[in-house]
Amino acid sequence: MSATETQPASQPTLTDRIALVRAQLAPIGSRRALLDSYRRESLCRLASPDPNAGSAIEVLDIAYALRWAELAPEDPRPEPDEYP
């Protein structure tokens, strides 16, 4: 391949896309602020729903869920050792 030929860039993976959104959500420091952000994002979704796997909606949902878990209280309630 010559220097002037270009090869098409590969599409980012689902994991890469989620990581990008998570990096954008990282500055959000509280669950309340994250919830406000999610509400605003949800309003944008109403205009263009795309329920397919790997869609922008799925990426956002996963990224917000992961950030929500990261913002969990430092000392959550202890869970029982055994479940019935």
Q: Looking at the domain assignment, is residue 39 inside a domain?
A: yes
- CA neighbor of 34 nearest in space, from 64, 60, 61: 64
pLDDT on residue 84? 47
Reported as a pLDDT band with limits 50, 70 and 90, residue 83 is very low
pLDDT tens, position by position, 24-77: 999 999 999 999 999 998 887 776 665 665 678 888 899 999 999 999 876 556
CA distance 29 to 1: 48
Number of domains in the chain: 1
CA distance 33 to 3: 48
pLDDT on residue 23? 96
Full domain range(s) for residue 52: 14-70
C-alpha distances out from residue 61 to 3, 26, 37, 57, 73, Å: 41, 15, 12, 6, 21
Q: Looking at the domain assignment, is residue 80 inside a domain?
A: no
Q: Looking at the domain assignment, is residue 6 inside a domain?
A: no
